[in-house]
Structure 1
Amino acid sequence: MEVDAPGAGGGEVEAESVSIPTRADRNAVIEVYEDELPDNADEVLAVLTAELPPLSVWLKVAIFYHRQGKDAQFEKVLSTIAGPEGMDRRPEYATAPEKEKQAIQRSLAGHFTRLALATAVGDTGREEDLRKAALYWIEQARDREAGEDEMTWVVRGVMALVQAQGETADTLSDRVAAAERNFEYASDANAHSFPSILGVAAAAFAKGDWSRAFTQYARAIKVNPLCSAAVRVGLGLCLFHLEHIDAARAAFKRALEMEPTNIDALAALAVLERGYPEDPVREGDDAETKAAKRTAQRRRTADYLRRAFELSANNAIVLNHIALQRFAQWHPVEGGAVKVTQGSKTVRAVGASFSLSDHFKPGDPIAIGRRICTLDPEFPVVPSSLQLSAPFTGASAEGVAVQRRKYDEPLPMLEQARKATTNRRVLAESHYLEGRCHHAMGDFPAAHENYGKALEYDAAFVLPQFGIAQTYLQQRDDARAAAAFERVLTREPNCREAMKALGVIYARTGQQDKALQHLKHACEVYPDDAEAWIDRGQLLQAMGSAKQMKGALKAYSRAAKLLESRRERLPRELWCNIAALYHRTGRLDKAETCYERALVQAANEEGKGGGADAAARVMYNAKCVTITYNLARLCEEQGRAGRARELYVGIVSEHPSYVDCYLRLGCMARDAGRLREAARWFQRPIDALRDAGLSAEACVLLGNLHVAAGELDKARDVFSILLESRSDDPYAEVALGNIALLRFSSGKEAARAEELLQEALKRFKDVLDKHPRNIYAANGVGVLYALHNKPSHALEVFTAGGGGGGAGGAPVGAQP
Structure 2
Amino acid sequence: MAAATMGGSAMAAPAPSRVYIPVMESNEVVAVDVDELPDNPEDLLEILAAEAAPLGTWFDFARAYLARGNAAAFTHICEEGCREEVIVEVERFFGSKPTYEQIQFLCGLAALQMARAQEETDRQVKLDQLGQAQKLLNQAKALDDKEQLVHLGLGMLHYTKGDTALARGEFTRAAALTNNRCRNVSGHLALAALLYHQKEYKEALQLYRRALQEHPGCPAELRLGIGACCLKLGDLPGAAAAFSRVLQLDPGSADAHLGLAIIKFNDTNMQQGLADGLKMLVRAYELDPHHVGVLNTLSHYCLLRGDHEKALATARAALSVCESDAIRAECLALSARAQHAAGDIAEAARAYQQAARLDQALPLPHLGLAQVFLRAGLADSAATINASSELEKAIRVAPAFYDALKILGQLIADNPLKVSKTLPAFVDAAARREHDADMWELLAELQAPSDPAGALQAYRRVLKLHEAKEQEAEEARRAAAAREAAAREAKQAKRKADADANGIDNDDLFGSDDDDNGTPAPAAATVAGGAAAEPS
- CA deviation map 1:422-455 (0-9, x unaligned): 2222211111111111222233332222221112
* Letter of the structure 2 residue corresponding to residue 78 of structure 1: C
1:414–1:525 Cα change, 3 Å: closer
The answer for the alignment partner of 1:328 in structure 2 is 304
Distance 1:203 1:69 in 2: 27
Selected match of 1:413 from 293, 308, 314: 314
Asked if 1:564 corresponds to 2:470, the answer is no
Question: How far apart are 1:461 and its partner, in Å?
Answer: 0.7
Task: Give the match for residue 75 of structure 1.
Answer: 75
Alignment of structure 1 residues 651-666 onto 2, 5 Å = none
Change (3 A) 1:551 1:262: closer
Could you say what secondary structure the match of 2:241 adopts?
A: helix
Give the whole-Å Cα distance in 1 for the aligned partners of 2:446 and 2:191.
50
Distance 1:232 1:126 in 2: 37
- Per-residue CA deviation, residues 258-294 of structure 1 (Å, 9 max, x unaligned), is 222222222222222212x3xx43xxxxxxxxxxxx4
Question: Is 1:246 paired with 2:237?
Answer: yes
Partner residue, 2:104: 106
SS at match of 2:86: coil
1:308 partner amino acid: A
Higher relative contact order (CA 8 A, sep 6+): 2
Task: Give the Å deviation of 1:535.
Answer: 4.2
Secondary structure of 1:141's counterpart equals helix
1:219 Cα deviation from its structure 2 partner: 2.3
TM-score after normalising by structure 1? 0.49
Q: Give, in whole Å, the separation in 2 of the partners of 1:188 and 1:17.
A: 31
1:185-584 alignment runs, 5 A limit: 185-189=173-177, 194-275=185-266, 277=267, 280-281=268-269, 294-329=270-305, 405-475=306-376, 476=378, 477-507=383-413, 510-512=414-416, 514-515=418-419, 518=422, 522=426, 525-526=429-430, 528-535=435-442, 558-567=461-470
What residue identity is the alignment partner of 2:311? P
Q: Which moved more, 1:414-423 or 1:147-156?
A: 147-156
> Aligned with 1:566: secondary structure?
helix
Give the 3 Å change call, closer, same or farther, for CA 41–487 of structure 1 in structure 2: same
Change (3 A) 1:482 1:139: same
Q: Report which of the two structures shows the higher radius of gyration computed on alpha carbons.
A: 1
Distance 1:184 1:523 in 2: 39
Give the corresponding residue for 2:487: none
The farther-off stretch of 409-418 and 113-122 is 113-122
Q: Which amino acid aligns with 2:426?
A: A
Q: Offset at 1:410? A: 1.6
Deviation at 1:112, TM superposition (A): 3.3
Q: Any idea what the Cα deviations from partners look like across 1:666-695, whole Å, max 9, x if unmatched? A: xxxxxxxxxxxxxxxxxxxxxxxxxxxxxx
Distance in 2 between the 1:19 and 1:540 partners?
76
In 2, distance between residues paired with 1:320 and 1:433? 7
Separation in 2, partners of 1:51, 1:520:
73
Cα gap change, 1:132/1:96 in structure 2, threshold over 3 Å: closer, same or farther? farther
Deviation at 1:488, TM superposition (A): 2.0
The C-alpha deviation readout for 1:682-721, integer Å capped at 9, x for no partner, is: xxxxxxxxxxxxxxxxxxxxxxxxxxxxxxxxxxxxxxxx
Distance 1:57 1:236 in 2: 35
Query: Do 2:21 and 2:48's aligned partners in 1 also have CA atoms closer than 8 Å?
Result: no
More off after superposition, 203-212 vs 117-126: 117-126
Runs of 5+ unmatched residues, structure 2: 1-16, 474-536
Aligned-pair distance for 1:209? 1.4
Deviations 1:386-445 (A, max 9, x none): xxxxxxxxxxxxxxxxxxx33222212222221122222221111111111122223333
Q: Give the letter for the 1:430 counterpart.
A: C
The C-alpha deviation readout for 1:631-667, integer Å capped at 9, x for no partner, is xxxxxxxxxxxxxxxxxxxxxxxxxxxxxxxxxxxxx
Q: Which amino acid aligns with 1:161?
A: Y
Quote the residue 1:120 is aligned against: 119
Q: 1:30 to 1:243 in 2, by over 3 A?
A: closer
One-letter code of the match for 1:240?
L
Q: For the residues of structure 2 that align with 1:98 and 1:161, how far apart are their CA atoms? A: 34
Amino acid at match of 1:131: L
- Name the stretch that deviates more: 496-505 or 510-519: 510-519
Alpha-carbon distance, 1:474 to partner:
1.8
User: What is the distance in 1 between the residues matched to 2:134 and 2:37?
Assistant: 30
1:178 is displaced (CA, Å) by: 0.4
Deviation at 1:71, TM superposition (A): 4.2
1:163 alignment partner in structure 2: 161
Residue of structure 2 aligned with 1:181, choices 169, 177, 182: 169
Paired with 1:101 and 1:20, the residues of 2 have a C-alpha distance of: 20
Contact 1:121 1:424 in 2 (8 A): no
Q: Equivalents in 2 of 1:521, 1:66: separation in Å?
A: 50
Matches of 1:521 and 1:205 in 2, distance apart?
Answer: 24
- Per the alignment, in what secondary structure is the counterpart of residue 87 of structure 1? helix
Of Structure 1 and Structure 2, the greater helix share is in 2
| 2:19/2:57 contact within 8 Å kept | no
| Contact 2:107/2:149, CA 8 A, preserved across alignment | no
More displaced stretch, 209-218 vs 106-115: 106-115
Residues in 2 aligned to 1:530 and 1:28: alpha-carbon distance in whole angstroms: 77
Matched, 1:131 2:130: yes
Following superposition, the deviation at residue 480 of structure 1 comes to: 1.0
Q: How has the CA–CA distance of structure 1 residues 74 and 452 changed in structure 2, closer, same or farther, with 3 Å as cutoff?
A: same
Q: Secondary structure at the match of 2:309?
A: coil
Compared with structure 1, are the counterparts of its residues 140 and 296 closer, same or farther at alpha carbon in structure 2 (3 Å cutoff)?
same
2:20 is matched with 18
**What TM-score comes out, normalization by structure 2 length?**
0.72
Task: Decide whether aligned partners of structure 1 residues 556 and 236 sit closer, same or farther in structure 2, where only a CA change above 3 A counts.
Answer: closer
Amino acid at match of 2:465: L
Amino acid at match of 1:458: D
Tell me how far 1:539 sits from its aligned partner: 6.8
What secondary structure does 2:119 align onto? coil
CA distance in 1: counterparts of 2:443 and 2:272, whole angstroms: 39
1:231 CA drift (Å): 1.7
Query: In structure 2, do the counterparts of structure 1 residues 41 and 311 end up closer, same or farther at CA, with 3 Å as the change threshold?
Result: farther
TM-fit CA distance, 1:485: 1.6
1:337 match = none
What CA distance in whole angstroms lies between the structure 1 residues aligned with 2:440 and 2:265? 29
Q: Is the 8 A contact 1:217 1:234 kept in 2?
A: yes
SS class of match (1:439): helix
Contact 2:90-2:97 within 8 A present in 1 as well: no
1:110–1:134: 8 Å Cα contact kept in structure 2? no
| C-alpha distance in structure 2 between counterparts of 1:438 and 1:157, whole Å | 38
Give percent identity, aligned residues only.
25
Contact 1:109 1:137 in 2 (8 A): yes
Change (3 A) 1:315 1:121: farther
What amino acid is aligned across from residue 151 of structure 1 in structure 2?
L
**Structure 2 counterpart SS, 1:19:** strand
Instruction: Encode CA deviations 1:463-508: one digit per residue, 9 max, x unaligned.
Output: 222222222222231111111122222223344343433332223x
Aligned to 1:812: none
In the superposition, relative to structure 1, how do residues 295 and 81 fare at CA in structure 2: closer, same or farther (>3 Å)? Answer: same
* Uncovered stretches (5+) of structure 1, i.e. residues with no partner: 1-14, 165-174, 282-293, 330-404, 571-816
Distance verdict in 2 for CA 1:483–1:306, change over 3 Å: same
